Structure formats: structure tokens, C-alpha cells
Amino acid sequence: MSLAVRPSFERELPLASTQAIARLSAQLAAGSQTLRRTRVPGGGRETTDRDQDHLVLTVPATQQRFWSPWLTIELTPRGDGTHLFARFSPHPSVWTGFWFGYLALGLVLLFALVFTAALAMTGGSLWSLWIAGGATLAMAAMWWASRIGQRLAQDQMATLRAELERALADLGDGDDASHASDASDASDASDR
């Protein structure tokens, strides 16, 4: 069992970054999933082609659920080609909520343990260990909930990955040896 929270993968594309961004964006926009692109800060107009970009691929709004994944795609120039880094994650508000929950529970755990140490030094009752244990259990429950969400989203993750692979194949990137990275294929998303 893996402890990965947000499965990711990387690929090197043989195209120049501006060309890869334009072609990949067009391929993904023509697909059945929803594509979002970053905007120029301040809402201004672009006057040149971008050499790096940030894309987000999601399932259509009619299929979205609380656990539905987002596939974030970063495209950056690397040598004569383009580096693609893609990561699955939940909706940003869900992700932010989880991390604020982990932060809050971590702080409760820290203070409970410090208070327990102070009580132990003064010979008091170590009742604050119950608080530390509760915070630890709550953090484990949050991790378990994230695992359930990934299991529920497994089919949608596979769909998003297949859509990206289709778009990459249409770019002429059929070299499977160019797959790099540590994280996931759609086939092992069930481990995450």
C-alpha cells in the first residue's frame, strides 16, 4: 500500500514548448473532458506565445462529485523539448481543507504532547494524552478518507489519464521510453 496523496507522472515531449503548449491545448480542448488554462495576471491580453503553461483537466460538470479528481499539467521548456509534469489532486478547496485539517490537528497534537510533558515533570495526571491520541486518530481518519476518495475517483482518474495520453499520442509522442517518474499510471492508481 502506498502513502501517495497526489499521484503524479512526468514525460519529455520532443516539441518546442510554445508548439507543444499550443498543440496539446488544442487536442485537450477538442476532447470530451473540461480544459482550463491559466490567465494573464490582472486579466490582460497576451501579446506573445507562452513558453510555459499550466493546464487543468477535469471531468465535465455533470459528472463531477465531491471526490472528482483534477489533473494539473505543467509544461515547461527543457533543452530543445518540453517537460510535462502532471499530478492528480482533488478540487483545490477540498485539498486546502484537508491540509488545514492536518495543520490544525498537528498543532493540537503538538500542544497536547508538550502539555503532557509539563504534567509529567510536575507529577500531574497525564489526561492530555487522550487529546494527543484523539488528534492522532483524527489524522488517521483523514488519511483514510483520502484513500476512499481516491478509490471512488479511480475511474475518473483513468479517464483523465487516457484523455491526456490520447492528446499526447496525437502530438506524435509515441515513445513510451520517454515516460519518467516515480508516481502513477492509471493501472496502479488503485494503489493510491
Cα 9 versus chain centre, distance: 10
Q: Tell whether 108 and 81 lie within a shared domain.
A: no
Q: Check residue 173 and give its pLDDT.
A: 43
Taking the model in full, what pTM does it have?
0.70
| Whether residue 84 is found in the same domain as residue 160 | yes
Q: What is the CATH number of the domain that holds 72?
A: 3.30.310
Mark whether 28 and 64 lie in a shared domain.
yes
Rounded distance, CA 177 to CA 172, Å? 14
One domain for residues 120 and 131:
yes
Give which of 23, 3, 17 is closest to 80, Cα–Cα: 17
In sequence order, what are the beta bridge partners of 33? none
User: Looking at residue 170, what is its pLDDT?
Assistant: 81
Instruction: Look at residue 3 and tell me if it is in a domain.
Output: no
Shared-domain flag, residues 75 and 168? yes
Q: Clarify whether residues 83 and 170 are in a common domain.
A: yes
pLDDT, mean over the chain: 82
Domain hosting residue 112, numbered range: 93-148
101 shares a domain with 78: no
**What is 83-106 written as a DSSP string?**
EEEEEEE--HHHHHHHHHHHHHHH
Q: Does residue 142 have a pLDDT over 90?
A: yes
Residue 157: its H or E element: helix 154-170
